[in-house]
Amino acid sequence: MPDFLDYSVENEIAFLTVNNPPVNAMSPGVPEAIVEGVARAEADEAVRAIVLIGGGRTFIAGADIKEFAKITSGEKDRGGDLFPVINALEDASKPTIAAIHGTALGGGLEIAQGCHYRIALQSAQVGQPEVKLGIIPGAAGTQRLPRLAGVELATRMCAQGDPVKASVAAEAGILDQIVAGNTPEELRAGAVVFARDVVARGGPHPKTRERNDKLGDEATNAPIFEAARAQAGKRRRGFEAPLAAIEAVEAATKLPFDEGLKREQEIFLRCLYSDQSKAMIHAFFGEREARKIPDVPKDTPIREIRQAAVVGAGTMGGGIAMNYINAGIPVLLKETTEEALERGLATIAKNYQRSIARGRFTEEWVEERLDLITPTLSYDGFERADVITEAVFEGMELKKKVFAELDAVAKPGAILASNTSTLSIDEIASATKRPQDVIGHHFFSPANVMRLLEIVRGAETSKDVIATSMGLAKTLRKVGVLAGNCFGFIGNRMFGPYRREAIFLVEEGAGIAQVDRVLYEFGMAMGPMAVGDLAGLDVGWRIRKEHPEHFPEGVRYPLSEDKLCEMGRFGQKTGSGWYAYDERRQPLEDPEVLKVIADTAAEAGIKQREIDDAEILDRCLYALVNEGARLLGEGFALRAGDIDVVYMNGYGFPAYRGGPMWFADTIGLARVLERVKEFEAQHGEGWKPAPLLEELAAAGTTFAAWDRGRAQKVGA
Ligand code: 3H9
């Protein structure tokens, strides 16, 4: 049995140091070890107070999330919950103190709430992030947190899941003291002083469950819950857990502690067994798996990134520059004309102003960031850059010209990244004499907001450039996913068939708004037609013209979108696309577009008919899944989970459905294949089933199982 707890006594204080790296999760055996430690300290006459502290880099990051799947699959019964620990700490006769560094999250914060006192380093954070896993706090967090923090903050923390800083937690009453210093050693020293002080003051020591002074009343609480529900409906549309968390906190304000707790447990279990929580736990581990690249080991050397440069100050280039300066990395931002540069800088300033207005950043912080940008019209200074990102217009000739210029000015070892969303990294790299340093860094618009960074590996990209890019994604607070160098990589390659089906459906008689509504109601952030109008219909049009090889003769082609582009209807930026837009940018149905569609259908011999919502959903989603399976089988993604991470973080796929491949697993691959074959019979070539989909459906297995099998092979 591993040694999950170090027990030591200093100055009459027992230190229970949790020892379960990397994040001190409450894996089986850890709660039991803490209970034993508390009992030992209680029995030890030399001990006057008990301090619970985390070993290594953090306090307790919560329950062991891996255990949840074992519980819901029936592999083990619930057991191992945290109540024995919390009760032991709260009912101890000697004062108990949680000493927090790093993060106290989920069950970690719930255990701390069971202690009589909580102290923390200034750098620590505390939170109830369970909703991000589709569950709610399940060890009385919804009942104790409002008793410490008040109803408003507790509701926000439980329903939104974001951690709060130590200073906020101290002000709210979650923490009793902030300890001076930055290190775990200083925390220990502070804990000794604090513990001796509470011992000197004497008992009784406060039990959180008995405190009711912050629970408010119906009149003060009702507007808090109403606002929280409205916020959840708007920001977390379709997610069940935020509403469930609010329900549980509300129970704390209306019921005695034990009854409130019973209510929390019912709601917790309902969420734990839900499909949403399984999908979101898949998303949690998927993001972390995506960092692992089988042939790029963890100890691959990393290139240091101290100075960045970006070529192109348009929407993408400006957003990319913001990512660097937000991370404290100075950036050179190059444009070709003074006007373009000024326009770019003005957009950046406007974006920051919006964040200041929303209270996200302070004026001073933004000033400091903006000082990190050096605008330029030349390559002067580029010789100092460790990473240079090209974000110019999407055209191969221009990109190659820029890369040839970069090859001439960049220092040896600089990473040369292209923000291309479709083009071949190998061809771009061929414009340089250093293809090993060339890689794709595909950011998503708006680049300062969207979490995804698709990292595209060329045939010659060196392993340390890949490892550095994956690390850089984390530094820039992005989720990095490695993609192979195929047309459109992972995301846009799949998006092609998805939007193609949406357009075909419209040509066959579905309403434009109907298609958007069906996908929106499924949970997508926007429908496919509205996305086209937002991103610009000309982007796909230009790609289709530049790459006819991807649209072979005899395979149906999205005719009507080209026609709209020929009319200058590029989407929101030209005031009209699939929709017309009023002055408030509200989309309106446009008779002119309906005529284009009807004429296109008539010319192409497409018979229009009434199309039901179910067909729209199946055709759009299974086009996505089939293409995902194809590129996965061809090796352009490492795992089905990586594809899911791409779609949830870059394309607005609802996290509570776990991404397209996970969603397909939940439907059953045999059923998905059956539909794909039906569509192939009706619509031909474009629906040819992906070999991997056929293989897995025949074997009666899932994409998730296929991922697990591969992970084992790589590990072996
Ligand atoms: C809960 O507590 C429910 C309760 O109400 C009680 C119910 C009874 N479990 O993220 P990182 C792994 S629900 C298992 O790269 P960082 C992670 O997979 C829980 N494993 O580090 C990774 O493994 P690998 C509520 C976990 O420094 C490694 O640790 N708590 C857990 O960037 C390093 O993780 C949360 O939701 C876990 N709880 O960030 C907190 N946490 O190396 C979830 C991490 O094999 N965790 N791992 O890929 C986090 O938010 C971040 O991990 C943290 C550290 C901020 C702590």
* pLDDT single digits (tens) 417-468: 999 999 999 999 999 999 999 999 999 989 999 999 999 999 999 999 999 9
The DSSP code for 685 is: G
Contact call for residues 464 and 386 (beta carbons, < 8 A)? no
Q: What integer is the mean pLDDT of 91-115? A: 98
Q: Please give the distance, rounded to the nearest whole angstrom, from the Cα atom of residue 601 to the centre of ligand 1.
A: 52
Q: For residues 17-28, give the mean pLDDT.
A: 96
Q: Read off the pLDDT of each residue in 366-384 and give the average, rounded to a whole number.
A: 97
DSSP characters over 549-591: GGS-TTS---HHHHHHHHTT--BGGGTBSSSEE-TT--EE--H
Residue 711 pLDDT = 76
Report the nearest-CA residue for atom 43 of ligand 1.
61
Q: Which of 51, 55, 52 is nearest to 22 (CA)?
A: 55
**Averaged over 111-122, what is the pLDDT?**
98
pLDDT at 205 over 90: yes
The residue contributing the CA closest to ligand 1 atom 22 is 288
Mutate which of 23, 100, 131, 292 for ligand 1? The one with the most ligand atoms within 8 Å of its CB, which is: 23
pTM of the model: 0.95
Contacts of 463 (CB under 8 A, 6+ apart): 295, 296, 300
The chain-wide mean pLDDT, for the chain, equals 95
Which position has the higher pLDDT, 446 or 244?
A: 244
Looking at residue 83, what is its pLDDT?
A: 96
Strands 479-484 and 103-105: unpaired
Task: List C-alpha distances in Å: 619 to 60, 285, 359, 513, 694.
Answer: 45, 29, 42, 16, 17
The pLDDT value given to residue 544? 85
Which residue in 36, 75, 90, 110 is the catalytic one? 110
Taking the CA of residue 65 as reference, the ligand 1 atom at the shortest distance is 9
Separation of CA 614 and ligand 1 centre (Å): 37
Residue 186 bears catalytic tag: no
Ligand 1 atom nearest to CA at 66? 14
User: Reading across the β-sheet that carries 164-165, which strands appear in turn?
Assistant: 103-105, 125-127, 164-165
Q: Which residues, listed in sequence order, are joined to residue 26 by a DSSP beta bridge? A: 63
- The closest residue, in CA terms, to atom 15 on ligand 1 is 288
123 SS3 class:
coil
Q: Assign residue 447 a region (left: φ > 0; alpha: ψ between -120 and 50; beta: otherwise).
A: alpha
* Distance (Å) from CA 206 to ligand 1 centroid: 30
Distance (Å) from CA 105 to ligand 1 centroid: 9
Q: What are phi and psi of 629, to 5 degrees?
A: -65, -35
- Nearest atom in ligand 1 to the alpha carbon of residue 132 is 36
Distance 101 CA to ligand 1 centre (A): 15
Whole-number Å distance, alpha carbon 61 to ligand 1 midpoint, is 6
For ligand 1, atom 23, name the residue with the nearest CA: 288
pLDDT of residue 395: 87
Q: Is 110 a catalytic residue?
A: yes
Confidence of residue 547 (pLDDT cuts 50, 70, 90): confident
Question: How are beta strands 438-443 and 452-457 bridged, if at all?
Answer: antiparallel
Q: What is the tens place of the pLDDT at every residue in 290-327? A: 999 999 999 999 999 999 999 999 989 999 999 999 99
Q: Are 497 and 624 in contact (CB under 8 A)?
A: yes
Q: Could you identify the atom of ligand 1 that is nearest to the CA of residue 291? A: 48
Ligand 1 centroid to Cα of residue 65, in Å, is: 7
Structure tokens at 682: 């009706």
**What's the confidence (pLDDT) of residue 546?**
82
From the CA of 81, give the closest atom in ligand 1.
8
Q: How far is the CA of 211 from the centre of ligand 1 (A)?
A: 30
Burial of 338 (0-12, 13-18, 19+ CB in 10 A): exposed
Rounded to an integer, the average pLDDT of 19-39 is 96
DSSP character string of 23-91: TT-B-TTHHHHHHHHHHHHHH-TT--EEEEEESTT-S---B-THHHHHHHTTSS-S---SHHHHHHHHS
Q: Whose alpha carbon is nearest atom 8 of ligand 1?
A: 138
Q: Work out the average pLDDT over 353-370.
A: 93
**Atom of ligand 1 lying closest to residue 62 CA:** 2
3-state secondary structure (DSSP) of residue 658: coil
Nearest CA to ligand 1 atom 7: 138
Of 259, 208, 212, whose CA–CA distance to 91 is shortest?
A: 208
Q: What is the pLDDT of residues 583-634, one digit of tens each?
A: 888 999 999 999 999 999 999 999 999 999 999 999 999 999 999 999 999 9
Q: What is the mean pLDDT of residues 354-380?
A: 95
Q: Looking at the CA of residue 64, tell me the nearest atom of ligand 1.
A: 9
586 HSE (CA, 13 A, CB side) = 4
The residue nearest atom 4 of ligand 1, judged by CA position, is: 107
Tokens 């779609």 map to which residue? Answer: 647
* Structure-token pair, residue 550: 């991807």
Closest atom of ligand 1 relative to the 474 alpha carbon = 32
DSSP 129: G
Instruction: Choose the residue to mutate in 34, 65, 477 for probing ligand 1, maximizing ligand atoms within 8 Å of C-beta.
Output: 65
The CA distance from 422 to 570, in Å, is: 19
Give 2's pLDDT tier (boundaries 50, 70, 90): low
Per-residue pLDDT band for 539 (boundaries 50, 70, 90) equals confident
Partners of 387 in beta bridges:
308, 415
**Ligand 1 centroid – CA 249 distance (Å):** 24
Write out the DSSP string of 172-215: HTS-SEEESSSSHHHHHHHHHHHHHHHHHH--PPPPGGG--TTS
Kindly report the protein residue whose alpha carbon is nearest to atom 54 of ligand 1.
23
Which of 142, 160, 60, 52 minimizes the C-alpha distance to 103?
60
What's 217's DSSP letter?
Answer: -
- Residue 57 Cα to ligand 1 midpoint, Å, equals 13
Residues with CB under 6 A from ligand 1: 22-23, 25, 61-66, 81-82, 103, 105-107, 110, 129-130, 133, 137-139, 141, 288
Which pLDDT does position 715 carry in this prediction? 55
3-state helix, strand, coil in the chain (%, to 5): 55, 10, 35
- What average pLDDT does this structure show over 52-70? 96
Angle 206-207-213 (CA atoms, 0-180°, nearest 5)?
80
Mind giving me the DSSP string for 440-492?
A: EEEE-SSTTT--EEEEEE-TT--HHHHHHHHHHHHHTT-EEEEEESSTTTTHH
241 alpha carbon – ligand 1 mean position (Å): 18
Q: How far is the CA of 106 from the centre of ligand 1 (A)?
A: 10
pLDDT band at 227 (very low <50, low <70, confident <90, very high): very high
Q: Would you state the structure tokens that stand for residue 644, as one six-digit string?
A: 């899911």
Q: How far is the CA of 25 from the centre of ligand 1 (A)?
A: 7
Contacts of 92 (CB under 8 A, 6+ apart): 38, 41, 42, 50, 116
Q: Tokens 């399984």 appear where?
A: 278
DSSP string, 20-32: -TTTT-B-TTHHH
| Active-site residue (options: 67, 90, 130, 240) | 130
pLDDT at 716 over 50: no
pLDDT at 637: 97
Average pLDDT value for residue range 5-30: 96
DSSP structure class, residue 13: E
Nearest CA to ligand 1 atom 28: 22
In angstroms, rounded to a whole number, what is the distance separating the alpha carbons of residues 647 and 639? 13
Atom of ligand 1 nearest to the CA of 284: 18
- Which atom, in ligand 1's list, is nearest to the CA of 58? 56
| The pLDDT of residue 79 | 61
CB-facing half-sphere around the CA of 96: CA atoms within 13 A: 29
